[in-house]
Structure 1
Amino acid sequence: MTVSPTGVLGRLKMELPTLPDALQRVAEQILEDPAEAAQASIVDLAERSGTSTATVTRFCRVLGFAGYAALRVAIATESGRAQQARWETDIDGDIEPDDPLDRVLGIIAGADARAIQETADRLDLAEVARVADAIATASRVELFGLGSSGTSGREMAFRLERIRVPCWFRPDAHTALTNAALLGPGDVAIGLSHSGRTREVIETLAVAAEQGALTVAVTSFARSPLADAADVVLTTAAHETTFRLAALSALHSQLVALDLVYVAVAQRTYARTTEAFEVTARAVQAHRLHDEASGARRARQRKTPTEDK
């Protein structure tokens, strides 16, 4: 997996509980003081975390870095940017029952902005291009997700359908499994799950993979059962606030990742997409309420000088 030079700290916070004990200690030491960790030698970090240099090296490789030097650069880059934006110090995710709406709005907007930026940092653009290439020529695309992830999948299916991509969103596990079994080489199956541990989504991708379809996981956890079951992993981020737990907070990040894929597909099918937009716009035109003032202006513009006299 290719790792973006930014977004490392957010990923560590999210994946911390899934790491083995020794690697957790390394991660905790980095998260405790990222700026200090960016300056520390591999020996210093190993001593402070109560591990060994071999463990730190393994930690780097688990994250997808070639070595400790690359990890230090990534931490330094992100620490400097976070300090400049003051995201970590100025934005609090706690919302009290009597908080005014202006503060609530600031917290929600700030959390979503951070999650979207971290998602943009995490996305492997080569993998996004691979998915877009496959969808652009696929005879069948299947999407499946439950809960809020299902909302993202349904929106993606709507967008792809609009540009003539043969695409379906499946609302339940049995329908998803039976249709995944009908896929084949050249088809695409996309499974969405913030945690990467939703059994039904994992099973659906596994069935699709058995049939030879390209399988894509959209998840916040790059090291999860869903990610392991997929050919391509698009990693998202989420920032919790009070009343919006991680799975609910991941919606906007999932939409950003999927929207990037959608636009990339539209680029690859430009003529077909443009024609589809024109056809569908005409189809619903009669159902739009007309602006009478605009209609009157257009009528006046169509009059000839003779008619005005």
Structure 2
Amino acid sequence: MVDHGADATTAAVVDADGADRRGPLGVASDGVLARVRAGTEELTGALRRVAEHVLSDPEGAARATIVELAERSGTSPATVTRFCRAMGFEGYADLRLGIAAETGRARSAGWTVDIGREIQPTDPLARVLEQMMAADTRAMHDTAALLDLAEVERAAVAIAGASRVTIFGASGSALVGQEMQFSLHRIGVAAWAWNDVHEGLASAALLRPGDVALGISHTGQTRETIETLAEAGSRGATTVALTGFPRSPLAELADVVLLTASQATTYRPDALSARHPQLVVLDLLYVAVAQRTHDRAHAAFRRTAQAVDGHKAARAALP
């Protein structure tokens, strides 16, 4: 497992099954629900029931006493306390304040509109659009709260200095990877995007120290992406993971982890709803690389624009 930074502190908690559960510390109220959502898959038993209840009714959780939340989730006050520590809070009061602040901002900004409501086959498009905008806005906000800008900086520095960048993703993640490859290519970064595991592994095997491999998987459990990133790491390349789960197998083996959040809706499960936040994070990474290679990027933009200029449709002369 890769240590993702000396500043990343964890708190150990023991669930009812005796397993050691760890959660990232960071008591800022921003992104509380995103952290809970990202960490739910790693919890079992009583702790998971608390997490699921908080996510199903965050405003109710913010108003409830610790005894009330324990009763509603079918657990005990001691379990709620362990859950709070797993989420990086010293106690229930801090968790309540964080959730209350976050839901209050979301309500003021209109992000809570229809979130959690199922889209019905007969819903008018105006209602569907409202639901999608609310969900995507919430996901973007959560992603901004989760994202470690120091990790973005590390990835940008590595890519800016790399002689070769390999990007790998399967299915929908492959489309996101192709967007990143196109952006990097336009500023003169030698980047390749692969969605075939054989081609991805072959490309990763040719990497050397100083090169970069970027693996994209919302779940962080896609075997082909894990294998490709592991191969790149074994060759000495810097490995970067873009995922929604900080304790996933992909994140565990990467040198740099970039986290995204998602807000699923009917017809748009997590894997699909994660695409826009993934694109935002990669666009931020691309801009950070362009900043660090300003002269080269500017010259590349100028040359590529001149190369394709002759293929633009001529404007009709004004009368």
Band of TM-score, shorter chain? 0.7 to 0.9
Q: TM-score, normalised by structure 1?
A: 0.84
Aligned length: 293
- How many angstroms does 1:92 deviate by? 5.2
2:51 paired residue number: 27
- Comparing 78-87 with 209-218, greater Cα deviation is found at 78-87
Query: Do residues 246 (structure 1) and 270 (structure 2) align?
Result: yes
62 and 138 in structure 1: CA distance in 2 versus 1, 3 angstrom threshold: farther
Could you say what secondary structure the match of 2:178 adopts? helix
Q: Which amino acid aligns with 1:10?
A: A
1:124 paired residue number: 148
- Please tell me whether the aligned partners of residues 26 and 51 of structure 1 are also in contact (alpha carbons under 8 angstroms): no
Equivalent residue in structure 2 for 1:67, among 73, 76, 90 = 90
- How many angstroms does 1:203 deviate by? 1.2
- How many angstroms does 1:39 deviate by? 6.6
2:14 paired residue number: none
1:300 paired residue number: none
1:88 paired residue number: 112
1:165 paired residue number: 189
2:292 paired residue number: 268
Mapped partners of 2:233, 2:71: distance in 1: 44
Q: Which amino acid aligns with 1:177?
A: L
Mapped partners of 1:276, 1:130: distance in 2: 23
- How many angstroms does 1:93 deviate by? 4.7
242 and 81 in structure 1: CA distance in 2 versus 1, 3 angstrom threshold: same
Mapped partners of 2:230, 2:143: distance in 1: 25
- Please tell me whether the aligned partners of residues 93 and 240 of structure 1 are also in contact (alpha carbons under 8 angstroms): no
- Comparing 267-276 with 216-225, greater Cα deviation is found at 216-225
Query: Do residues 140 (structure 1) and 168 (structure 2) align?
Result: no
Q: Which amino acid aligns with 1:113?
A: T
1:107 paired residue number: 131
- How many angstroms does 1:278 deviate by? 0.5
- Please tell me whether the aligned partners of residues 62 and 96 of structure 2 are also in contact (alpha carbons under 8 angstroms): yes
Mapped partners of 1:152, 1:27: distance in 2: 30
- Please tell me whether the aligned partners of residues 181 and 208 of structure 1 are also in contact (alpha carbons under 8 angstroms): yes
Could you say what secondary structure the match of 1:233 adopts? strand
1:205 paired residue number: 229
- Please tell me whether the aligned partners of residues 34 and 146 of structure 2 are also in contact (alpha carbons under 8 angstroms): no
Query: Do residues 280 (structure 1) and 304 (structure 2) align?
Result: yes
1:305 paired residue number: none
207 and 62 in structure 1: CA distance in 2 versus 1, 3 angstrom threshold: farther
- Superposed CA offset, 1:222-245 (max 9, x none): 221111121221111222222222
- How many angstroms does 1:20 deviate by? 2.2
249 and 30 in structure 1: CA distance in 2 versus 1, 3 angstrom threshold: closer
Mapped partners of 1:20, 1:227: distance in 2: 20
1:13 paired residue number: 37
* Structure 1 segments unaligned to the other structure (5+ residues): 297-309
Q: Which amino acid aligns with 1:244?
A: R
Mapped partners of 1:42, 1:185: distance in 2: 51
Mapped partners of 2:95, 2:188: distance in 1: 43
Query: Do residues 179 (structure 1) and 206 (structure 2) align?
Result: no
Structure 1 consecutive aligned stretches of length 4 or more whose deviation exceeds 6 Å: 39-48
214 and 57 in structure 1: CA distance in 2 versus 1, 3 angstrom threshold: farther
Q: Which amino acid aligns with 2:250?
A: L
Larger of the two Rg values belongs to structure: 1
232 and 41 in structure 1: CA distance in 2 versus 1, 3 angstrom threshold: farther
- How many angstroms does 1:78 deviate by? 1.1
Mapped partners of 1:52, 1:155: distance in 2: 47
Q: TM-score, normalised by structure 2?
A: 0.81
- Comparing 189-198 with 209-218, greater Cα deviation is found at 209-218
Query: Do residues 97 (structure 1) and 121 (structure 2) align?
Result: yes
33 and 170 in structure 1: CA distance in 2 versus 1, 3 angstrom threshold: closer
How large is the RMSD of aligned CA atoms in angstroms?
2.6
- How many angstroms does 1:149 deviate by? 0.8
- Please tell me whether the aligned partners of residues 177 and 204 of structure 1 are also in contact (alpha carbons under 8 angstroms): yes
Mapped partners of 2:307, 2:249: distance in 1: 43
- Superposed CA offset, 1:152-196 (max 9, x none): 000000000110111110120111112212222211111111111
Q: Which amino acid aligns with 1:280?
A: T
Query: Do residues 234 (structure 1) and 246 (structure 2) align?
Result: no
